[in-house]
Amino acid sequence: MHGLWRSGGCFELLQYFATGVRCAFELFRRDLDGRPFPLYIRPAAAIPPQPHRTTAPPATDDKHTPPLPPRASTMACSCAQGVVFDANVIRNSALEDGLAGWAPLGSCTELSVRHEEPEKVPTETINDVEDGYRPSGRYILAAGRGGEEDGLCQAIPAGTLKPRVTYRVAGWIGLGDGAAGEHAVRVNIRVDGEGKECALVVEGGAVCAEAGKWTEIKGVFRLKASPASGAAVHVQGAPAGVDVKVMDLQVFATDRKARFKKLRKKTDKVRKRDVVLKFAGAGASSAVSGASIRVMQMDTSFAFGACINPAVIQEPAFVDYFTKHFDWAVFENELKWYHTEAVQGQLNYADPDALLDFCDRHGKPVRGHCIFWAVDRMVQKWVKDLPNDQLTAAVQGRLTSLLTRYAGRFPHYDVNNEMLHGTFFQDRLGDDINAFMFKETARLDPGAALFVNDYNVEGGGDPNATPEKYIAQVNALMEKGAPVGGIGLQGHVTNPAGEIICDALDKLATTDLPVWLTELDVCESDVCLRAEDLEVVLREAYAHPAVEGVVLWGFMQGHMWRQDACLVNSDGTINDAGQRFINLRQEWTSHARGKIDSDGNFKFRGYHGSYVVQLATATGKMHKAFSVEKGDTPLVLDMDV
């Protein structure tokens, strides 16, 4: 823990929300995180696999956009003038006035107000807008629906919704008695176009609803321009004939500044500790009393990383930002099976070897991403063409080849990527194959922490990827003996809401497994809003005790999977989002100066990590290293001089 004293010398150290335009009531299909999201109802199991990054290396399919000029970072670039935060724009939300303000969608739809039985009213909610809020128990029943677009709606007056402001959608959704299974129900914001001949439809959230159960909707949206002629909120989905129930629907502007204030207090409790440096010993107190002292944090216990590939490590501007501001790395595609064995039997590890060598030179540990990929379209053709017995042998061959070659080199592995969204190996080789992959990985490389890794879990808008389903997957794997060692949230986000992210993290924390954001990118064309969005995600992650690291899925323009997510422009200049990242890292670093008190002590409160203390006395300057680890009580360290 303690280093040696060293004497002498001076110590230096977001465009509409991915919205498509269609006329009248035609609904768009949102490209959430670059993947098609099912807005039309269908059984959850029938939702097709979704594309992720590229199908062949190299994966740098970001569209090149002109470099953005650097600008000063600002905490308030959203258009907050005239916005009343945390005020519900939905009138008669709790139905005190019956159906006033509400209208049916569909010629056959009939609306009625119902009262839930007290014991069935939800008791837990992430809605913290009102102190002591509890669901009212009153709900609208939309019956007689003739199709997926039928349901209920309410007009929102012109001027109510402000541009560039993040709105949350909250409430409770259920299905009528007798509905079989789960069905997707969505809340959309319909924004009238000029002349009302066309409309924008902005997705406000979606849930998998079911009969006999209330599911909380956790949606979010943002508009680029203020609707000139008003808007309307629509609740739609579920098959024809299935009744939809809606309780306490709310739409409100979220106050990010107020949220950040809460998170700073939470961060102080979670990530910092009181420290007492004692300069004791025979005569030491009097000898050093009043001496000048400087404490400098050298690194942090919380990991920040970024993905790399062979192209970016040749870019001086990339290497400079990466080596200065990141502690970990992950390879974009170079460790994936389709990259290392594009043709059966022809193994090629040249790229991962070169990237590992680069990381070794710069002292960056690397996450192993990924051994397998569960999504059908991401499996190379020769693997798909194998009969089952040969596929089993190929899986074993992949494990043996990769893990014996790199044993001990990767502290983490994403074992079978995106199992919430794909089941290729399970469909072909049976329900036990996923657990086998984990167990065999642990046998071949016992020192690595083995992760599940998936997308949309933190966003609240993908019925296929809820925290509850992710937890169930982890539990099912562990029941079969899989040594799951961590939970990966990819974090391909657009317009994030901190409360929704925190809710997902709280749920995942019940597994007692460490959580990492493994592929974070925040997509927003307005770089100022992008900086705010990035800060939302990073503050939520850093303030949560279950999260141990955040890895960005690239940061340089022209070298990223998602456009409009860069922190560094193509010319090497750092944009507003990149500066915000630097500012946060500086905020989360502790330095202290002062003088040793008459008792020979120096006290400060610092972030967890490693430090060097510099003591200036009459005989010169001396340095010593120490570490601050997690703990609820003050850390008292003896500094022998």
Q: Which residues participate in catalysis according to the annotation?
A: 418, 519
Return d(Cα 623, Cα 5) in angstroms, integer. 5
Contacts of 239 (CB under 8 A, 6+ apart): 41, 148, 183
Return d(Cα 592, Cα 590) in angstroms, integer. 7
Q: Pairing state of beta strands 412-417 and 449-454?
A: parallel
Query: Are 562 and 34 a contacting pair, CB within 8 Å?
Result: yes
Q: What are phi and psi of 57, to 5 degrees?
A: -70, 155
Query: Are 514 and 546 a contacting pair, CB within 8 Å?
Result: yes
Q: Cα 420 from chain centroid?
A: 16
Query: Are 454 and 420 a contacting pair, CB within 8 Å?
Result: yes
Q: Which helix H or strand E contains 129, and what residues bound it? A: none
Residue type, 523: C
* Token representation of residue 187: 């809340």
- Residues belonging to the chain: 641
Residue 632: CA atoms inside 13 Å, Cβ hemisphere, count? 1
* Token representation of residue 26: 């035609």
Distances (CA, A) of 143 to 150, 216, 239, 248: 9, 20, 12, 18
* Token representation of residue 573: 């200049």
Query: Are 568 and 578 a contacting pair, CB within 8 Å?
Result: yes
Partnered with residue 203 across adjacent β-strands are 188
